[in-house]
Structure 1
Amino acid sequence: MERSVEKVSNKNQIGLVLSLMAGYSMVYMDKLMVSTAILPIREEFGFSTAQAGMIMSFFFLGNSILQIPGGWLADKIGSKKTLMLSTALIGIFSLFFGSVSSLILFMIIRFSAGIGHCGYPPGCSKAVADNFPKEKRTMVQSLMLSTSGIGGLLAATIGTSLINVNWRYGYLALGAMFIISCLLIAIFVPDRQIVLEDNSAENLEKKIKFREVITNRNVIVLSIAMMFLNFIGHGNMSWLPTYLATKFSVDLKTIGTVMAFNAVFSTIATMLVGVLLSKVFLGKERKFVVVSSLLVAILFFIFPFTNSIFAATICNILISILFICPFIAIFTWPHKIMDTSIIGTAIGIINTGGMIGGFLGPMILGRLVDANNGSFFVVYIVLSVVTVICGLVVLGVKTK
């Protein structure tokens, strides 16, 4: 049976894209800001490195548990309701995080915030799939993911500035921004899906069972790849401020500057990678991921040998730029090889692997630091090895 078709105006598309990008920016800001906030929190409450790692990791535990239900929900009730529910929950728990004072409450609230996050990536992917033709989705999804840099920039500037005054202020401001994002989604995201008119098979409703999605070879492979990728990305970013403060004895302002440079270059790289994957490397995603992963692995190996904050900043910027390559490729791949009707569920499953990696990364790396008397050398060797493994995993993706 054919779907109802509605023409999409450029004005509506712009409003939709900007509202989704605003919400995604807040999502990444929340993920990244905690790595800076953990420094004054540890000092105030006397938490060990392992305890701080648990606070950061519990967010990803909550996120991983409900990623698949979040994706299923996006397919069933639509992207708008899923996105509004997600941003509202994260906003509420961000406000709560800024008002508690014990380890168990910090862990519970970050766990709950992780549950709130589980609906945003699949909801956003569902909105992109429903409202844009297939040939535009990789580019639009890349714009969504460019907000990782925007969110990082907000975390490094506004977030770090507020945390430097009082870390609680940072989370009060973050909660307010999530509520604003929820309102933007209510205004600009369509209540029902809009599909540009064509005669392709995508305009036919397809009944694909959940069992078929969760056992799909490509879904499984991309989920495993995303697990390794988030282990690397979130593990590195969670402990980078602590590493810089420990090795180079720099203050929060300097750390914020380093993180801001990362964010700016990541944003630019994300947009460029979206173009490359849409034009130059279309159909060559495996090679793209493998080569970029090997380059990131080399840089991780070099990073602990840098002996100045300037050299460390340059090396980390290069890591951030190249890390974006496999991240964008893996996250946008489902739009090219999977059906629109199950894109939310597929992204939810893939993100489940990512959130498991995000949960394990900060916690395992924190324990490695403790086990090596505060040294981060082994941490970056582990990150280098895991990056190579991530690149090799995508060789298992099968495309027609």
Structure 2
Amino acid sequence: MVHAQISKGKRNFIFSLLFLGWLVDSLTLFGMNVAIIPISKELHLSQTQSGMVISSFWLSSACMTLLAGWISDKFGSRKVIVIAVFIISLFSLLTGMAGSFLTILAIRFILGLGDGGLPTGSGVAITEIYKREVRARAKSFLFAGQLIGGVLALYAAGLIADTWGWRVMFYIVGGIGLIVTLLLFKYYNPPKVVNTTKDGDSLPKIPMKDLYRSKLLWTIVIMYFCSSVVHWGFSSWLPSYLEQTRGLNLKTVGSLAMIPQAFGLLAALLTGYLIDKSLAGKEKIIILIGAVISGLCLFLMFKAPSIQVAIAYQSIFSIGDSAIAMAIITIPLKYVSQNITGSFMGTMYFAGGLAGFIAPTTMGALIDAFNGSFQAAFFFLIGSLVIVFIGALVFRLPKNNTNIIASNDSDVSV
């Protein structure tokens, strides 16, 4: 695989535009987790309906990831990313205009189509922009962009919604997103990559049937699905948990909910750096430790005697959660053949999108079923972490950390 020769400054500028796109997406995503509180009150939604509003986004996102992966592999990342950010921005703006349960459900469903294209296209973009040796760090910065957006969204959403109403929040995010879309359209031009073996021959395309026969692929997909259930289930319901169980107002909810996000951000950056350096090939260990830490803190958080102790456990949980996500996400970037990165990650993100669809609705239904208690919902998340732990136990990288699935093991970055 040969990258086009462009300057380091040009590569970093292109990556910065990609980072802005992720920031907009996360503002929309995490902003809804706070906005759903006043939306539910205004539109008279049940807990189950509130979960459906959050989950509708993930259903369409999951469906789009597979298509986006194929398009990105075939045509490159540019078209997928520009269109994805445009859809996210436009329908974030339209979210502020919704006046009924069905309307907001439909808008969030369409918005999810954009979200489904962005992560998959970005996975291909990283392989276009950077060599293998630094891809974990690059991915950690994108993941950090999502978490930074989460921190900003949780604080700003609570503040704006409390001051001017939840609709204004979506108008602001959508407007910013449309500006970012214009910047991407004009300046986002990733370098061309030629896929070849070390002998200079064209790298043959791997049939999709061979991709889906891989046991390692399905092990990774199952781990990513269950870890996504935990991540999106927790982040979707944390603001509501703080407001309903701990009796906090909307502004305080946003301020406190961003603290665990900040710890997750730091953990993501550190994990990405370590995977590129001293922990390359040891992703399994990171996942195992992260699953234990996250599961234990979820249990302790629910039993915490005070809000201060609960936030402390939430913050430690976020460290483990981010470490798991980074370890799983970087596996295909470092160990999967270049010409199927999009399809592989599309399959992963499809599973993650399904998890995002299932988790909030399931948790909402469990909360309704247990008369407002979050206990069963938290045990649902802990059970998912147990599966992640088991998946990590059976996961094995190929010897010498060669490609997991490749038509030619000599596929290397030069």
Same fold (TM over 0.5): yes
The corresponding residue for 1:239 is: 237
Deviation string for 1:49-104 (max 9, x for gaps)?
01111111111111111210111111122101110010011111111111011111
The corresponding residue for 1:193 is: 192
What amino acid is aligned across from residue 166 of structure 1 in structure 2?
A: G
1:345 correspondence with 2:343? yes
Deviation string for 1:187-243 (max 9, x for gaps)?
443255247x99847984331122222333222222211111111111111111111
Match 1:223 to one of 218, 221, 244: 221
The corresponding residue for 1:171 is: 170
User: Would the alpha carbon gap of residues 150 and 124 (structure 1) be closer, same or farther in structure 2, given more than 3 Å must change?
Assistant: same
The corresponding residue for 1:19 is: 17
- Structure 2 counterpart SS, 1:388: helix
Shift of 1:315: 1.1
Match 1:330 to one of 323, 328, 331: 328
User: Would the alpha carbon gap of residues 91 and 181 (structure 1) be closer, same or farther in structure 2, given more than 3 Å must change?
Assistant: same
What amino acid is aligned across from residue 252 of structure 2 in structure 1?
A: T
Shift of 1:181: 2.2
| Cα distance in 2 between the residues matched to 1:326 and 1:11 | 31
Shift of 1:20: 1.2
User: Would the alpha carbon gap of residues 178 and 214 (structure 1) be closer, same or farther in structure 2, given more than 3 Å must change?
Assistant: farther
Match 1:39 to one of 32, 37, 40: 37
Shift of 1:134: 1.3
- Structure 1 counterpart SS, 2:245: helix
What amino acid is aligned across from residue 186 of structure 1 in structure 2?
A: F
| Cα distance in 2 between the residues matched to 1:370 and 1:199 | 56
| TM-score, L = length of structure 2 | 0.91
The corresponding residue for 2:373 is: 375
Shift of 1:6: 2.5
Tell me which moved more, 207-216 or 92-101: 207-216
| Cα distance in 2 between the residues matched to 1:286 and 1:202 | 33
| Cα distance in 2 between the residues matched to 1:194 and 1:186 | 20
| Cα distance in 2 between the residues matched to 1:208 and 1:296 | 37
| Cα distance in 1 between the residues matched to 2:113 and 2:77 | 17
Shift of 1:157: 2.6
The corresponding residue for 2:153 is: 155
Deviation string for 1:26-69 (max 9, x for gaps)?
22222211111110011111111011111111111111112101
Shift of 1:166: 0.9
Match 1:272 to one of 263, 266, 270: 270
| Cα distance in 1 between the residues matched to 2:126 and 2:34 | 32
What amino acid is aligned across from residue 212 of structure 2 in structure 1?
A: I
Question: Equivalent residues in 2 for 1:62-211 (5 A)?
Answer: 62-164=60-162, 165-190=164-189, 192-194=191-193, 200=198, 204-211=202-209
| Cα distance in 2 between the residues matched to 1:118 and 1:382 | 25
Q: CA contact under 8 A between 1:57 and 1:362: conserved in structure 2?
A: yes
What amino acid is aligned across from residue 276 of structure 2 in structure 1?
A: S
Structure 2 unaligned blocks of 5 or more: 399-414
Deviation string for 1:302-337 (max 9, x for gaps)?
111112221111111111111101100001110122
User: Would the alpha carbon gap of residues 347 and 198 (structure 1) be closer, same or farther in structure 2, given more than 3 Å must change?
Assistant: closer
| Cα distance in 2 between the residues matched to 1:258 and 1:214 | 42
The size of the alignment, in residue pairs, is: 397
Q: CA contact under 8 A between 1:7 and 1:194: conserved in structure 2?
A: no
Q: CA contact under 8 A between 1:160 and 1:253: conserved in structure 2?
A: yes
What amino acid is aligned across from residue 253 of structure 2 in structure 1?
A: I
Q: What is the Cα-based RMSD across aligned positions, in Å? A: 1.9
User: Would the alpha carbon gap of residues 176 and 200 (structure 1) be closer, same or farther in structure 2, given more than 3 Å must change?
Assistant: farther
Tell me which moved more, 181-190 or 45-54: 181-190
Q: CA contact under 8 A between 2:58 and 2:357: conserved in structure 1?
A: yes
The corresponding residue for 1:393 is: 391
Shift of 1:257: 1.0
User: Would the alpha carbon gap of residues 205 and 264 (structure 1) be closer, same or farther in structure 2, given more than 3 Å must change?
Assistant: same
| Cα distance in 2 between the residues matched to 1:238 and 1:213 | 32
User: Would the alpha carbon gap of residues 73 and 199 (structure 1) be closer, same or farther in structure 2, given more than 3 Å must change?
Assistant: closer
- Structure 2 counterpart SS, 1:66: helix
What amino acid is aligned across from residue 182 of structure 1 in structure 2?
A: T
| TM-score, L = length of structure 1 | 0.94
User: Would the alpha carbon gap of residues 358 and 202 (structure 1) be closer, same or farther in structure 2, given more than 3 Å must change?
Assistant: farther
| Cα distance in 2 between the residues matched to 1:202 and 1:21 | 33
Shift of 1:246: 1.2
Match 1:213 to one of 206, 211, 214: 211
| Cα distance in 2 between the residues matched to 1:14 and 1:220 | 33
| Cα distance in 1 between the residues matched to 2:365 and 2:244 | 16
Q: CA contact under 8 A between 2:206 and 2:340: conserved in structure 1?
A: yes
- Structure 2 counterpart SS, 1:207: coil
| Cα distance in 1 between the residues matched to 2:242 and 2:318 | 16
Shift of 1:11: 1.2
Match 1:261 to one of 250, 259, 262: 259
- Structure 2 counterpart SS, 1:61: helix
Shift of 1:8: 2.2
Deviation string for 1:312-369 (max 9, x for gaps)?
1111111111110110000111012201111111111000111111111000111110
